[in-house]
Structure 1
Amino acid sequence: MYAEERQQAIAELVQARGRASVNELAKDFAVTTETVRRDLSVLEVARIVRRVHGGAVRAASVVVTERGLDERDATQAREKERIARAALGLLPADGGSVLIDAGSSTGRFADLLPLDTRLAAFTHGVPIASRLAALPGVELHLLPGRVRTTTQAAVGSETVQAVENLRVDVAFLGANGISVEHGFSTPDPEEAAVKRAIVRAARRVVVLADSTKFGLDATVSFALLEDVDVVVTDAVTADLPLNVLRDAGIEVVIV
């Protein structure tokens, strides 16, 4: 495992557990305690964790670093699978329309759509469009724009304008961070602009997000809590309690 991969894995572990000791991390990753201390120093400089005596805890305010789609898809894979399956129950009736955001959770959702699905589907995610193209009952619309290498998502003014011309029954989105103060957020400004347009274009907005995203702030907010109708997740956490989500008018589906 390269240092960057180990540091990302350590960051995700600290985010999931809330804290981790140097000795635990050294054992988990089969490295020396000195290596772990160096990794934690790098992550602290990036404001991803906060060093404490003997280990590290979640930073109070985390700026989420952006990872490639393949790496994101491998993270929290079991939870994303359960979330995607539950989200299938939120599809509109046959003949309805959906807008599917680019991302790893929404990609799993597209993978699980039954072969007999009958929908008009719009997406700016290239891998998602490829999956939907195999479904004979889906009328597929791939939105235009410049494709980002990191996320394989079309972005830019052309994409935003295309979304703004739409009105769909349900939008399914992902998020890198969800918090009370910053709402739903993502690292890239161009992807945030597309997500913002998707939220406005849908009669019902559904966010698919595993619980490690709760309490995190990515760089750019694309929606307030009250802009979203449903959150499908594997658990709720102290960083974003269930009552806070419900008070914002959000239906929470826990799988």
Structure 2
Amino acid sequence: MLSETRYAKILSILKDNQSATVKELAEILEASESTIRRDLNTLHKRKKLEKVFGGAVINSSTFIHTEDKIEAKKKKNIDEKNLIASYAASLIEDGDCVYIDAGSTTELIIDHIQADQALFVTNCPGHNRKLSLQGFNCILLGGELRLLTDALVGCYALESLQRFNFNKGFFGTNGISIESGFTTSFPTEASIKSAAIERCNKAFVLADASKFGSIAAITFADIYSVSIITRHLKDKRYLDHADIFQIEEMP
């Protein structure tokens, strides 16, 4: 059987069954297990599937072609986001220096903060105003405003970040995948996220279920480099690649 024919059959099997072991594929295709492993390596490099221990799973990631305005994002998955944000806020302690990234879920953290002696830094004017109105000590980075996400970006924001050392940082993301990590749609926004993560002792991405298996244009962090706070993780493969906090019950 020609290699390309085997590749097509492997992908067809995975499409029907979502996953398959090397042994199963070898038996179905009447090929050696070493041949199947080489085939899986090739298809993995082509990003047609994802290799796992002893086999492979179908690559079900969806590319994000457009990004909603922040006003629209705030209306989606509100209960789930609020639960995630509440847990994130519980991690903030007096004396912490905390970075809060722009985003609809990160904004909800502010409603649940109990620590009143923490310092907050953000690149989001809306977050800064909300924190200030609630009496928290907050610093807003400088930079150019990206209206779509209400985020300050650019060289001035990057320069400002270099002055800080954060105990904890909380970040939004457009998508999460095992291969591409944490992704966002705009290059200068990705650079701010990456730079802020580097300044954090501990960084957390807040992600509702819709973010998993989605890929935007720019990767700002690898899957293993940042912890994830989510509600209920459906795809357990992520547990092998990331530090994940699962919030199972609604309060």
TM-score when normalising by structure 1: 0.70
Deviations 1:29-61 (A, max 9, x none): xxxxxxxxxxxxxxxxxxxxxxxxxxxxx9743
- The residue correspondences of 1:28-107 to structure 2 (distance < 5 A) are 60-91=61-92, 93-107=93-107
Instruction: Provide the rounded CA distance (Å) in 2 between the counterparts of 1:162 and 1:173.
Output: 17
One-letter amino acid of the counterpart of residue 237, structure 1? K
2:127 aligns to what? 128
2:214 aligns to what? 216
SS in 1 for 2:74: helix
Does structure 2 conserve the Cα–Cα contact (< 8 Å) formed by 1:175 and 1:213? yes
Does structure 2 conserve the Cα–Cα contact (< 8 Å) formed by 1:97 and 1:170? yes
1:232 aligns to what? 229
Instruction: Provide the rounded CA distance (Å) in 1 between the counterparts of 2:167 and 2:61.
Output: 37
Instruction: Provide the rounded CA distance (Å) in 2 between the counterparts of 1:64 and 1:221.
Output: 15
Does structure 2 conserve the Cα–Cα contact (< 8 Å) formed by 1:107 and 1:128? yes
SS in 1 for 2:62: coil
Instruction: Provide the rounded CA distance (Å) in 2 between the counterparts of 1:87 and 1:209.
Output: 11
Alpha-carbon offset, residue 247 of structure 1: 2.9
Instruction: Provide the rounded CA distance (Å) in 2 between the counterparts of 1:199 and 1:60.
Output: 24
TM-score when normalising by structure 2: 0.71
Matched, 1:188 2:186: yes
Instruction: Provide the rounded CA distance (Å) in 1 between the counterparts of 2:244 and 2:193.
Output: 20
Matched, 1:247 2:245: no
* CA distance 1:64–1:163, change in 2 (3 Å): farther
2:199 aligns to what? 201
Does structure 1 conserve the Cα–Cα contact (< 8 Å) formed by 2:96 and 2:167? yes
Alpha-carbon offset, residue 165 of structure 1: 2.6
Deviations 1:165-217 (A, max 9, x none): 32110000011100011100111111101000111010000111101100100
Deviations 1:233-254 (A, max 9, x none): 122123xx2xx43333513232
Residue 147 of structure 1, aligned match among 145, 148, 159: 145
Does structure 2 conserve the Cα–Cα contact (< 8 Å) formed by 1:64 and 1:177? no
SS in 2 for 1:252: strand
Instruction: Provide the rounded CA distance (Å) in 1 between the counterparts of 2:192 and 2:132.
Output: 22
Deviations 1:81-112 (A, max 9, x none): 11111112211x21111000001000111233
4+ residue runs over 6 A deviation: none
- Counting aligned pairs with the same residue, the percent is 30
* CA distance 1:74–1:68, change in 2 (3 Å): same
Does structure 1 conserve the Cα–Cα contact (< 8 Å) formed by 2:168 and 2:203? yes
Does structure 2 conserve the Cα–Cα contact (< 8 Å) formed by 1:214 and 1:237? no
Structure 1: gaps (5+ residues)? 1-57
One-letter amino acid of the counterpart of residue 197, structure 1? A
SS in 1 for 2:215: coil
Does structure 2 conserve the Cα–Cα contact (< 8 Å) formed by 1:83 and 1:233? yes
Alpha-carbon offset, residue 232 of structure 1: 1.1
Structure 2: gaps (5+ residues)? 1-58
SS in 2 for 1:88: helix
2:32 aligns to what? none
* CA distance 1:102–1:74, change in 2 (3 Å): same
Does structure 2 conserve the Cα–Cα contact (< 8 Å) formed by 1:246 and 1:252? no
One-letter amino acid of the counterpart of residue 83, structure 1? I
One-letter amino acid of the counterpart of residue 98, structure 2? V
Instruction: Provide the rounded CA distance (Å) in 2 between the counterparts of 1:119 and 1:205.
Output: 16
Alpha-carbon offset, residue 113 of structure 1: 2.1
- The residue correspondences of 1:169-180 to structure 2 (distance < 5 A) are 169-180=167-178
Instruction: Provide the rounded CA distance (Å) in 2 between the counterparts of 1:231 and 1:60.
Output: 18
